[in-house]
C-alpha cells in the first residue's frame, strides 16, 4: 500500500543575500513571497499544506509559475525538507522532474542504462538483458555506445523514455515531463509511458496542459501563492482555475493553459 | 559430508538457533546486496573515467603507485628502512591519504550538486553520502590490493597479525569519512568562502602529515608536534600497522577510535539538526 500524508507542511528555500536585498521583496505577477531573514533570503514556497494521497489516486497540480507545484513534487520525492509540519511517504517513489535528470552526460547510453538498472534494483544477473532491451527500444543503434552529451535532444528523449521500462516506483511524480516526449518516438515507447502511469499506485503530475491532465488525472489541486486554493474533481477545479485566470489577466499578461 | 550432516542434525535439534540465524541473514542481506550494487556502480563509473585508454581502470591504482614510487625515491632519507620498505611505507600512507583527501575535498558540493541526480536514482540524502563513500572505498580497496601484492613480492615477512585488523580499520575509516563528508558539506554550504580554504587546507595537510616522511624517526621539532597532534597521522599509522609496515600500537588505535567517534557523533548531530534546511538551500 502506498500513501502520502502531508500535515501543515511549510517549505522555504534559502538564498544568500546579494546586492540590494530590499528590491527582492517586490511582489510580481508570479512567484512566492520573499522574506529577508537575518542571514538569508527566505522564499516561502509552500505554506501550511495538508494533503492525503492514497492507493489509486491520480492527482494533477495546476497553478501559475512559482505557485509551488514543483516544490510540492520535490517535497513528496524527498528532495526538499519541511521547515514545519510533517510529511509521511509510504511506498517507493519514482520522480521524473526533468528529461535527462538522473543521467550522467559523460557516460554512454549503455553505461547510463547499466547504472540505472543497478540504482533501480534490477537483479545483477538480469542487467545485461535489460540493457539490450533498452537499446532495442530506444532505436539509438550505435549512438547507444556514445556519451550522452553527444546526443541530440530527440536522442536523449528516446533514451530517457526507453529507460522507463526500469522504473519501478509505486508513487510516480512527474513535472511537466509528459509534454517533452519526442513526437517521433515509436508507439512501443509511448506505450511504456502509459504502462508506467497505469502501474503506479499513486500518480502526482504537475502540468499546464489541460489535455494531459484530462488524459491522466481525475483529481486536481490548484496551488496559488504557496497555498492550496482548491482541491477536488478535475472538471470543477479546472473550471474555477480558468475563470480565475481570465479575471487575473486583466491585471497583467498571463499565459493561458493549452 | 560428516560435518554437513552434523550441522543439519544440530539445527533440527535446535530449530530456534536456525530461525535466529535465518532472521539475522534476512536482515543483513538487503544491506549486503546494496553494498555489492554500489560497488558495481563505482566500478562502472571508475571504468568510464579511464575509457579510451589501454589500461583502463588499472590507471587508478597505477597512478597512486607511480606517484608513491616517485615520493619514495625523492624523499627516502631513512637510515632504518631500505628503499623498498620505504616505498611500501609511502604507498600504504598515500593510498589512505587519497581516501582522506577525497572525503574532505570531494564533499564541498554534495547536496547542492548531486541530490537531484540521487533522487532520480532512488537515493535519499543518506544514500547519496553512502554512495560517495563506497566510491572512495572502491578506490582505496583497489590500492589496498596492490599494496598486498607488493608486500607479497617485496616484504613477505610483513604479512602478519595486522591483516586481521583490516576490517576494524575499514569500519573506523568508513565512519570517520561519512561524518567528515557531511560536516564539510554543511560547513561549506553555510560558509562558501571555506570551500577554497578546505582545498588549501587539504593540500597543507598532505605535507603536514607523515605520508612521505617517516613518523617513527622524528623525536623533536615541528614534525614531532605534527605526529602527536595531527589526527591524520594516527590514521596513517593504523593503515601501516594493518599492512605490517609499522609495529602494532594500541595507543594509535585508541586515539583513532576517539577521533572517529567524535567526528561521527558530531556529523550525526549536524545531520539531525540541518538535513531539512540544507536540502532547501539554493
Q: What is the pLDDT of residues A90-106, one digit of tens each?
A: 988 888 877 777 889 88
Residue owning grid cell 550494487:
B37
Contact B117 A101 (CB under 8 A): yes
Closest-CA residue to B130 (of B44, B194, B34, B43)? B34
Q: Is residue A119 part of a domain?
A: yes
A-chain CB neighbours of B138 within 8 Å are none
Q: Which residues contact B28 (CB under 8 A, 6 or more apart)?
A: none
How high is the pLDDT of residue B65? 94
| Order of all β-strands in the sheet with A58-62 | A93-96, A171-175, A202-206, A58-62, A219-224, A227-233
- Provide the b/e sequence for B228-264 (b: ≥16 CB within 10 Å): eebbbbbbbbbbbbbbbbbeeeeebbebbbebbeebb
Q: Is residue A205 part of a domain?
A: no
Q: Is residue A98 part of a domain?
A: no
* Cα B83 to Cα B87: distance, rounded to the nearest angstrom: 6
Record the cell numbers describing residue A200, joined without a space.
503506479
Q: How far is A65 from chain B (nearest CA, A)?
A: 18
A36 and A116 within one domain: no
A81 and A17 within one domain: yes
A229 and A166 within one domain: no
Contact A81 B275 (CB under 8 A): yes
Which candidate in B120, B272, B281 is best for mutational testing of the A interface (most A CBs within 10 A)? Answer: B120
Q: Is residue A210 part of a domain?
A: no
Residue owning grid cell 570517520:
B176
Q: Tell me which of A246 and B253 has the higher pLDDT.
A: B253
pLDDT at A28 over 70: no
A115 and A72 within one domain: no
A194 and A114 within one domain: yes
Q: Tell me which of A243 and A167 has the higher pLDDT.
A: A243
Contact B121 A115 (CB under 8 A): yes
CA dihedral B111, A151, A194, A51 (to 10 degrees): 20
| CATH number of the domain that residue A48 is part of | 3.40.50
Complex-level ipTM: 0.80
Q: Give the residue on A whose Cα is nearest the Cα of B124.
A: A78
Q: Give the residue on B whose Cα is nearest the Cα of A171.
A: B122
* Cα B139 to Cα B211: distance, rounded to the nearest angstrom: 18
How high is the pLDDT of residue B6? 43
How high is the pLDDT of residue A49? 93
Nearest to A111 among B44, B120, B122 (CB): B44
* Counted domains in chain A: 2
Give the SS3 label for residue A219: strand
Contact A102 B121 (CB under 8 A): yes
How high is the pLDDT of residue B8? 54
Contact B280 A81 (CB under 8 A): yes
- Other C-beta atoms closer than 10 Å to the C-beta of A236 total 11
A222 and A196 within one domain: no
A233 and A178 within one domain: no
Phi, psi angle pair for A111, to nearest 5°: -65, -40
How high is the pLDDT of residue B127? 92
Record the cell numbers describing residue B277, joined without a space.
534546511
Q: Tell me which of A169 and B9 has the higher pLDDT.
A: A169
| Order of all β-strands in the sheet with A40-53 | A34-36, A40-53, A3-16, A84-90
How high is the pLDDT of residue A180? 47
Contact B48 A107 (CB under 8 A): yes
Q: Tell me which of B119 and A157 has the higher pLDDT.
A: B119
Q: Which residues contact A211 (CB under 8 A, 6 or more apart)?
A: A258
Q: pTM (2 decimals)? A: 0.84
- Percentage of chain A exceeding pLDDT 70: 84
Q: Tell me which of B62 and A35 has the higher pLDDT.
A: B62
**Residues lower than pLDDT 50 in chain B:** 1-7
How high is the pLDDT of residue B62? 94
How high is the pLDDT of residue B242? 94
Q: What average pLDDT is seen over chain A?
A: 84
Q: Is residue A74 part of a domain?
A: yes
A74 and A10 within one domain: yes
A196 and A125 within one domain: yes
Tens-digit pLDDT profile for residues A60-89: 999 998 889 999 999 999 899 999 999 999
A122 and A47 within one domain: no
Domain that holds residue A126: 109-200
A189 and A120 within one domain: yes
Amino acid at each position: 500500500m502506498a500513501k502520502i500524508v502531508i500535515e501543515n507542511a511549510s517549505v522555504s528555500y534559502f538564498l544568500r543575500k546579494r546586492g540590494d536585498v530590499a528590491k527582492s521583496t517586490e511582489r510580481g505577477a508570479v512567484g512566492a513571497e520573499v522574506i529577508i531573514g537575518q542571514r538569508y533570503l527566505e522564499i516561502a514556497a509552500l505554506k501550511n499544506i495538508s494533503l492525503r494521497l492514497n492507493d489509486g489516486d491520480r492527482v494533477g497540480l495546476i497553478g501559475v509559475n512559482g505557485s509551488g507545484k514543483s516544490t510540492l513534487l520535490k517535497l513528496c520525492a524527498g528532495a526538499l525538507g519541511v521547515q514545519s509540519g510533517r510529511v509521511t511517504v509510504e511506498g517507493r517513489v519514482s520522480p521524473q522532474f526533468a528529461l535527462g535528470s538522473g543521467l550522467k552526460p559523460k557516460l554512454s547510453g549503455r553505461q547510463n542504462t547499466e547504472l540505472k538498472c543497478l540504482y533501480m534494483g534490477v537483479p545483477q544477473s538480469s542487467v545485461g538483458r535489460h540493457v539490450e532491451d533498452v537499446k532495442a527500444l530506444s532505436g539509438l543503434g550505435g549512438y547507444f555506445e556514445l556519451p550522452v552529451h553527444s546526443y541530440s535532444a530527440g536522442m536523449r528523449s528516446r533514451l530517457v523514455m526507453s529507460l522507463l521500462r526500469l522504473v519501478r516506483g509505486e508513487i510516480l511524480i512527474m513535472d511537466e515531463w509528459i509534454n517533452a516526449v519526442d513526437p517521433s518516438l515509436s508507439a512501443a515507447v509511448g506505450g511504456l509511458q502509459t504502462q508506467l502511469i497505469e502501474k503506479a499506485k499513486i500518480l502526482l503530475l504537475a502540468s499546464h496542459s489541460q489535455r494531459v491532465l484530462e488524459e491522466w488525472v481525475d483529481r486536481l489541486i490548484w496551488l496559488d501563492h504557496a497555498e492550496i486554493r482548491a482541491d477536488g474533481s478535475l472538471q470543477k477545479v479546472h473550471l474555477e482555475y480558468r475563470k480565475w485566470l481570465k479575471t487575473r489577466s486583466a491585471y497583467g499578461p498571463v499565459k493561458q493553459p493549452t | 559430508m560428516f560435518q554437513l550432516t552434523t550441522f543439519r542434525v544440530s539445527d533440527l535439534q535446535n530449530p530456534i538457533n536456525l530461525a535466529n540465524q535465518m532472521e539475522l541473514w534476512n536482515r543483513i542481506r538487503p544491506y549486503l546486496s546494496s553494498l555489492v550494487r554500489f560497488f558495481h556502480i563505482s566500478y562502472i563509473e571508475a571504468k568510464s573515467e579511464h575509457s579510451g585508454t589501454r589500461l583502463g581502470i588499472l590507471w587508478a591504482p597505477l597512478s597512486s603507485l607511480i606517484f608513491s614510487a616517485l615520493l619514495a625515491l625523492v624523499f627516502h632519507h631513512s637510515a632504518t628502512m631500505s628503499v623498498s620498505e620505504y616505498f611500501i611505507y609511502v604507498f600504504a600512507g598515500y593510498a589512505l591519504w587519497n581516501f582522506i583527501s577525497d572525503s574532505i575535498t570531494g564533499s564541498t558540493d554534495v547536496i547542492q550538486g548531486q541530490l537531484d541526480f540521487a533522487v532520480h536514482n532512488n537515493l535519499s540524502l543518506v544514500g547519496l553520502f553512502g554512495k560517495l563513500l563506497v566510491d572512495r572505498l572502491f578506490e582505496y580497496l583497489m590500492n589496498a590490493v596492490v599494496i598486498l601484492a607488493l608486500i607479497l613480492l617485496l616484504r613477505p615477512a610483513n604479512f602478519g597479525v595486522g591483516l586481521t585488523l583490516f576490517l576494524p580499520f575499514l569500519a573506523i575509516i568508513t565512519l570517520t569519512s561519512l561524518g567528515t563528508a557531511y560536516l564539510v558539506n554543511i560547513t561549506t554550504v553555510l560558509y562558501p568562502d571555506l570551500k577554497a580554504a578546505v582545498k588549501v587546507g587539504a593540500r597543507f595537510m598532505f605535507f603536514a602529515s607523515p605520508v612521505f616522511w617517516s613518523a617513527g624517526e622524528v623525536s623533536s621539532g615541528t614534525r614531532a608536534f605534527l605526529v602527536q597532534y595531527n589526527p591524520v597521522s594516527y590514521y596513517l599509522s593504523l593503515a601501516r600497522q594493518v599492512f605490517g609496515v609499522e609495529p602494532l600500537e594500541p595507543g594509535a588505535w585508541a586515539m583513532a577510535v576517539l577521533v572517529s567517534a567524535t567526528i561521527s557523533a558530531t556529523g550525526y548531530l549536524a545531520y539531525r539538526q540541518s538535513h531539512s534546511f540544507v536540502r532547501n538551500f539554493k
